[in-house]
Structure 1
Amino acid sequence: MTVRFALLGTWHVHALDHLNWALRHEQAEVAVVWDGDETRGRAFAAAHGLPFEKSLAVALASDAIDAVIVDCETTDHPQVIGAALAAGKHVFTEKVLAVDPDDAAALARQARDAGLVLWVSLQRMGEAPHRTIRQIVAEGSIGRVVSSRIRYAHGGAFGTPPIPKGFFEFSAAGGGVMIDLGAHPAYLAMMIHGEVPVSVSAEMSSIAGLGVEDNAAYIMRFPSGAISVAEVSFVNDRFSFSIEVTGTSGMLTCGPVDTVVRLRRAGDDAWVAQPPVLASDDMLSQFINELRSPGRGDALLTLAAEVSSVIGSAYRSAEDARG
């Protein structure tokens, strides 16, 4: 059975990625495009040979639509996702679920009450290095996990990769690098540590002067006493990723030179490359699988709502530090 999608919004930098995921999937079809910015939406739809609908209500009222892909402005998520759920549509959305943690929690409740799948694209969790690290941690190979450090960065503020100017507008994005790249360390750390942080402290700055923060770091403290440090930036010279996970009997590392996961056990000086766990399917394929065979959706939704909470706490901490 083919899942027929409406693409709601083309603002996000990953809108084209999500469209391509759908076009490549043999059981998916994008039937219509809607965008609150009609000029932008019509141009995107025309470029990809898709029909455009200027009314969100009309797009959602169609019985020809089974689910929606939400790539509108992050600040519009509560209204757009809420409307889609109210119309009985399953929702696939780009992170974060909502800028305000209370809005994220409300959307999660709405989806659960309606018996609908609300799937947030936390795409890094399915990549081979992260799946490999989580498996090794679960096996107990490094003992009790006591700390982690996760870094994501690229040069988007300098045009590498090219990012639309609107992506750096606070009124649309709800923030800068903290709410974008900063979401990845939040969910990865919670998955590695198996806990939700009890406190978050952060610092942020603007190097490129784009109107939002482009350089940030935050620290999560977990109930067990473990600490995770997240570093994110839009002002790197290129894409950069690295992760370290330290336990009482060993340490794992990956990046920034390559994506090989290496393990050093206590009492051993050698770093040993670990066999990689295969990457998961893309997040849209996982969403389609969830529609057919529910199982992981509720846990993912809980995690996505916690990400909004962590990022919200990080912003409050950084603002408090500024006085």
Structure 2
Amino acid sequence: MSNGPVGVALVGAGNISGQYLRNLTAFPDVRVIGVADIDTERAAAVAAEHGVPVSGALATVLAVPEVEIVVNLTVPSAHAAVALESLRAGKHVYGEKPMAMDVDEATKIVTEAANLGLRVGGAPDTFLGAGLQSALHALRSGLIGEPVAVTAATQSLGPESWHPNPEFFYQPGGGPLFDLGPYYLTALVSLLGPVTRVAAGTRRARLHRVVGSGPKEGKVFPVDVPTHVNALLDFPGAATAAATFSFDSPINRRTIEIIGSEGALSLPDPNTFEGPLLARGLHDTDWHERPVSGTTAGRGIGVLDLARSLRSGTPHRASGDLAFHVLELMSAISESGERSEFRPITSTTTSPEPLPSDWDPYASTL
């Protein structure tokens, strides 16, 4: 087993890479060695901005022996190809969500990793943040009794008003379900365990959208996926959840509420790492705020947890099994919307263990 910081390379120098690089370059237990992109000039500029020594095409960073983990930040349609090439080069892979475009592609990734003795991890890692970790501790302490029902919703008018290149959000692998669904579904699975079946209704309000800002402002582009999804999810021996994922709503809403036999919890936005976390008892007339503790370091803590787990030989929390299960949920929800029937979920996973109370991304453990 190797010692010292774990070498990391990022593939995809787009919008999200800056958040990862700001965090990963600050964590002493990882060392960012490379940045790759199909636009090698962009890769070089991003690498230079963050003091990363190697940049270029994917093959360039895969050829660096010190790179142990590839962080795959490419567009969804490239996730599987980049993951498979990285695994075949002997690298562990941590990918942005979704793991792949469909379950067949994801199966190839997890099978290849298992055959090669390598690890797969995946975003979102927001469930490791202080807000959702505190919710997990509250549930496990019995604060609201046994979970009975969940209401979850993410609603907006979509990302085209602010994102300079929003087209991919409306292509297969995107839409509110595949773009924002992973945050909500990963949070629910981490809290309540795996889902056994789903049902859904889906709609598409408009056939075209318009870029609202940046150099492409005014460009009209097609919408190829549902933009409003209502889903039902069954958790065995736990709760039933009703979830809404929408890019068609003038009402901005980001919420998860869990009703239990002895009270209720209102969780923070699962696309964040902080609070607030609210609770109320059966006879309370209003919510009261719960203490929140844990890390708020942001995107990349799942990569850090994977890196530390590689050195310690322990399971990592933002695992391939969890990412695969969430992808199957989204695929089954999409299929249910097309077929108007319940769809069974064949994969399973376990709720990740909570982070230790003293888990500090900025203190070296290696």
Of 266, 289, 292 in structure 2, the residue corresponding to residue 273 of structure 1 is 289
Gapped regions of structure 2 (runs ≥ 5): 210-222, 341-366
Q: CA deviation at 1:109?
A: 2.6
Change over 3 Å in CA distance of 1:181–1:69 after alignment to 2? same
| Offset from partner CA, 1:197-246 (integer Å, 9 cap, x none) | 32232424345833244443322122337311222344667974222101
For residues 10-49 of structure 1, the aligned pairs below 5 Å read: 10-11=13-14, 13-38=15-40, 40-42=42-44, 44-45=46-47, 48=50
Instruction: Report which stretch shifted further, 228-237 or 94-103.
Output: 228-237
Change over 3 Å in CA distance of 1:299–1:260 after alignment to 2? closer
- Contact 1:217 1:231 (8 Å CA) reproduced: yes
Q: CA deviation at 1:17?
A: 1.2
**Percent pairwise identity:** 25
Q: CA deviation at 1:307?
A: 0.5
Change over 3 Å in CA distance of 1:169–1:37 after alignment to 2? farther
1:300 to 2:313 alignment:
no
Q: CA deviation at 1:308?
A: 0.6
SS in 1 for 2:56: coil
Q: Provide the residue aligned with 1:85 in structure 2.
A: 87
Change over 3 Å in CA distance of 1:274–1:202 after alignment to 2? same
C-alpha separation between the residues in 1 aligned to 2:295 and 2:317?
Answer: 21
Change over 3 Å in CA distance of 1:153–1:131 after alignment to 2? farther
SS in 2 for 1:179: helix
TM-score w.r.t. length of structure 2: 0.75
Instruction: Report which stretch shifted further, 130-139 or 281-290.
Output: 281-290
C-alpha separation between the residues in 2 aligned to 1:296 and 1:155?
Answer: 38
Q: CA deviation at 1:313?
A: 0.9
Of 144, 147, 150 in structure 1, the residue corresponding to residue 149 of structure 2 is 147
Q: Provide the residue aligned with 2:107 in structure 1.
A: 105
Of 228, 232, 236 in structure 2, the residue corresponding to residue 223 of structure 1 is 236
Instruction: Report which stretch shifted further, 39-48 or 260-269.
Output: 39-48
Change over 3 Å in CA distance of 1:177–1:43 after alignment to 2? farther
Of 254, 257, 270 in structure 2, the residue corresponding to residue 244 of structure 1 is 257
Change over 3 Å in CA distance of 1:24–1:223 after alignment to 2? same
Instruction: Report which stretch shifted further, 223-232 or 34-43.
Output: 34-43
- Aligned residue pairs: how many? 316
C-alpha separation between the residues in 1 aligned to 2:247 and 2:334?
Answer: 17
Change over 3 Å in CA distance of 1:238–1:269 after alignment to 2? closer
For residues 64-75 of structure 1, the aligned pairs below 5 Å read: 64-75=66-77
Q: CA deviation at 1:112?
A: 2.7
SS in 1 for 2:55: coil
Q: Provide the residue aligned with 1:318 in structure 2.
A: 337
SS in 2 for 1:24: coil
SS in 2 for 1:63: coil
- Contact 1:120 1:300 (8 Å CA) reproduced: yes
Q: CA deviation at 1:104?
A: 1.6
Of 277, 299, 302 in structure 2, the residue corresponding to residue 261 of structure 1 is 277
C-alpha separation between the residues in 2 aligned to 1:58 and 1:278?
Answer: 37
For residues 201-216 of structure 1, the aligned pairs below 5 Å read: 201-206=200-205, 209-210=208-209, 211=223, 212-216=225-229
SS in 2 for 1:316: helix
- Contact 1:18 1:284 (8 Å CA) reproduced: no
SS in 1 for 2:233: strand
C-alpha separation between the residues in 2 aligned to 1:158 and 1:34?
Answer: 26
Q: CA deviation at 1:85?
A: 1.0
Q: Which structure shows the bigger proportion of residues in helix conformation?
A: 1
Change over 3 Å in CA distance of 1:27–1:272 after alignment to 2? closer
- Contact 1:119 1:287 (8 Å CA) reproduced: yes
Q: CA RMSD in A?
A: 3.0
C-alpha separation between the residues in 1 aligned to 2:329 and 2:38?
Answer: 28
- Contact 1:202 1:318 (8 Å CA) reproduced: yes
- Contact 1:21 1:284 (8 Å CA) reproduced: no
Q: CA deviation at 1:182?
A: 0.9
Gapped regions of structure 1 (runs ≥ 5): none
